[in-house]
Amino acid sequence: MKKRISFNKFLTADYLFSLVIFASIILFIIKLTSGGFTLALLNFIIDLFLLLVFYLIFRWNKYLRGIFLIAFFISFIFFLGPSIFLEEFALMKYSFSNLSLGMMGYFFDSILTVGNYLLVACAIVFVFILGFIRLSQRYFYRIFIGCGILFLVIVIFGYSFVANSYITTIADLTESKESIDIALGDFNESFFRKGVDYSFEPEHGRVLVFVMEQTNYNDFMAEVDKIPYEDNFFLQTKGFSHWYSNYYTQNQDSRTAVWDMLNAEFIPYECYLSDWDKYYGTVMNDNNLVDFFKMKGFESVVAISMYDVGLLAGAYNWSDVIFLKEFKGGVDPICLHEIEFEKGCEDMAIIDDVKEEILENENLFLLQEFIFGHGENYMKLSGKSRTRYYNDYLMEIWNFLEENDIDATLLILSDHGDKGYFSKDKEHYHIPFVVVDRNREYKLIDDLYTHLSFSNILFSYIGGDFPDPEGETYVIGQTLGGEIGYITKQGYFMGDLDSKFFKNFVLNFTNKQIAEKVGILLGYQESIKEESINENNHCIYCNYNIERAKSKRL
């Protein structure tokens, strides 16, 4: 007679205690591969203590333990996410209080790879099986008290360093906040959608735009100073460069930041919404630099060292697309597939194609979005900072231009700044912007500009007039950051729109002034969303670019 396994065996206190211990150990092993020993150990202590707290609450009878068992395996998925992307979650200070169903759908559909899903499945199976290795509960209070002491030490002395997502969530939910009543306000459309004269006749030549990843101004300047002069592209070209010292991104994610640049329009939403086209899709129906240069007889080319043509590049009607024709993970060149929609290699993998495009086209608008730096492992594997890598890449491009006697205007800037918002600091949005042109003399430009002015600034180097300073700007934080802000040269405020809580910096804005400024932004948000829904926008060039990429691989 076969012996049945009773479900009650899964509801014993011993089994659940073993489950918590072994789950924490498996999470620690995963954390070691994604964040290093110190960060993994500190987060292991936090996660174990929180799991033990819940275990202590639910351990007392069979029915509570049943609830705990079901909740445990559901919540275990949420413990796995910050473990797989430990360093990124820590750097970006993610809080689960900002989660939405749409964002969760996007995370599972577009971020997690097949390998991540296999890891999740294996982790759950292992935890389930290891739970049968019963650990005596007599160890519970020793482990609980020890973890509790270490937990308090970490929270008191290492909170900002660890930036554990669960601690950040608890801090968000328990922080005392003063809410401000905000109503939709009227807005001046020209403030959010810059007037660009697309009838302007540009001087012909080569215009090369290089977009660095996640580089803020102060870090960039410090890194440039560390590079020896003989290897330093930025210092060797400084005599004929314009340096912008007060230039800001308005969006903290790559796609929306680059679209701001190309379309001269502010996208007032976080980027990675699963139905983004119903929020800000209308932006893609308007004029942009890609179409402008094609209309004026230029080749408009995008270069991006990725295997798949994603939305960032694929949404425009480019003359040509430079991309990876094959993808093999490895370190020479460094090629990573850490999130589902980004299968990419360091930018040197396509530099020969970029050079060929420059050589063949006398009238060229080329934009390269650097992939190096999309994830901390690029820096770990190469031993280079973002700025040092971009410097070396640009030095090779510059030497190529010199060797072939090619005159070109180079515009080098970051898509957005450093992510992470414990301090809600405007410096996260403050980014470098350097224009190199042998026909210029060195100049430092301290007026406030943003990506909204990028098109007009670019035009000024090919025969157009230099734009007036902006003076003030709104900013939208990274996806799941829940942050908005308002910046002037004199001061700024930043805050959490969902809680309607804002902090003043430098200027003493009154609550009424903050409410008025935020109300204007909300009015613009609603207008953009209404346009996007009514126009039934979609990415009309995405499939075209995907099919074109496939045909090039044949």
Q: What is the mean pLDDT of residues 80-95?
A: 65
- Per the CB < 8 A criterion, the answer to whether 76 and 70 are in contact is no
Percent of the residues in the chain that have a pLDDT greater than 90, as a whole number: 35
Domains in the chain with CATH codes: 7-174 (no CATH), 189-553 (3.40.720.10)
pTM of the predicted structure, to 2 decimals: 0.80
Would you tell me how many other CB atoms lie within 10 Å of the CB of residue 33?
12
Write the DSSP assignment of 403-457 as a string of letters. Answer: HTT--EEEEEEESS-----SS--GGGTEEEEEEE-TTS--EEE-S-EEGGGHHHH
Instruction: Return d(Cα 402, Cα 397) in angstroms, integer.
Output: 9
**Tens digit of each residue's pLDDT (9 = 90 or more) over 268-298:** 998 888 788 888 888 887 889 999 999 999 9
Looking at residue 325, what is its pLDDT?
Answer: 81
Residue 481: name the closest of 499, 507, 493 by CA: 499
Find all residues with CB under 8 Å of 464, minimum gap 6, and list them: 197, 200, 202, 456
Q: Which segments of 126-261 are extended strands (E)?
A: 206-212, 241-248
Q: What is the mean pLDDT of residues 305-321?
A: 83
Instruction: Return d(Cα 93, Cα 91) in angstroms, integer.
Output: 6
**Tens digit of each residue's pLDDT (9 = 90 or more) over 376-431:** 788 888 999 999 999 999 999 999 999 999 999 999 999 999 876 545 788 889 99
**Tens digit of each residue's pLDDT (9 = 90 or more) over 466-525:** 999 998 899 998 887 778 889 988 888 888 766 556 666 667 788 888 888 888 888 888
Looking at beta carbons, which pairs linking 114-119 to residues 24 or more positions away fall under 8 Å? 115/337, 116/84, 119/30, 119/80, 119/84
Q: What is the mean pLDDT of residues 220-238?
A: 96
Looking at residue 112, what is its pLDDT?
Answer: 55
Percent of the residues in the chain that have a pLDDT greater than 70, as a whole number: 75
Largest CA distance in the chain: 92
58 CA to centre of own chain: 38
Running DSSP on this structure, what letter comes out for residue 265?
B
Looking at residue 2, what is its pLDDT?
Answer: 46
Query: Strand 320-322 to strand 299-304: parallel, antiparallel, or no bridges (unpaired)?
Result: parallel
β partners of residue 301: 320, 366
**Tens digit of each residue's pLDDT (9 = 90 or more) over 245-266:** 999 999 999 999 999 999 999 9
Listed ranges 68-82, 152-166, 206-220; the one with the highest mean pLDDT: 206-220
230 CA to centre of own chain: 33
> Considering only 3-12, 148-157, 297-306, 458-467, which range has the smallest mean pLDDT?
3-12
Looking at residue 498, what is its pLDDT?
Answer: 64
Instruction: Return d(Cα 513, Cα 47) in angstroms, integer.
Output: 42
Instruction: Return d(Cα 424, Cα 186) in angstroms, integer.
Output: 26
- Per the CB < 8 A criterion, the answer to whether 301 and 357 are in contact is yes
SS3 at position 493: strand
Burial of 92 from C-beta contacts in 10 A (0-12 / 13-18 / 19+): buried
- Per the CB < 8 A criterion, the answer to whether 146 and 44 are in contact is no
**Tens digit of each residue's pLDDT (9 = 90 or more) over 131-163:** 566 666 777 888 888 888 888 887 777 555 566
- Per the CB < 8 A criterion, the answer to whether 241 and 413 are in contact is no
- Per the CB < 8 A criterion, the answer to whether 436 and 409 are in contact is yes
Looking at residue 14, what is its pLDDT?
Answer: 73
Query: Strand 408-414 to strand 206-212: parallel, antiparallel, or no bridges (unpaired)?
Result: parallel
- 36 or 423: which leads in pLDDT: 36
Give the CA count within 13 Å in the CB-facing half-sphere of 300.
17
Instruction: Return d(Cα 280, Cα 285) in angstroms, integer.
Output: 10
Instruction: Cite the DSSP H helix spans in 347-407.
Output: 351-360, 377-382, 386-403
β partners of residue 444: 243
Residue 167 has pLDDT above 80, yes or no: no
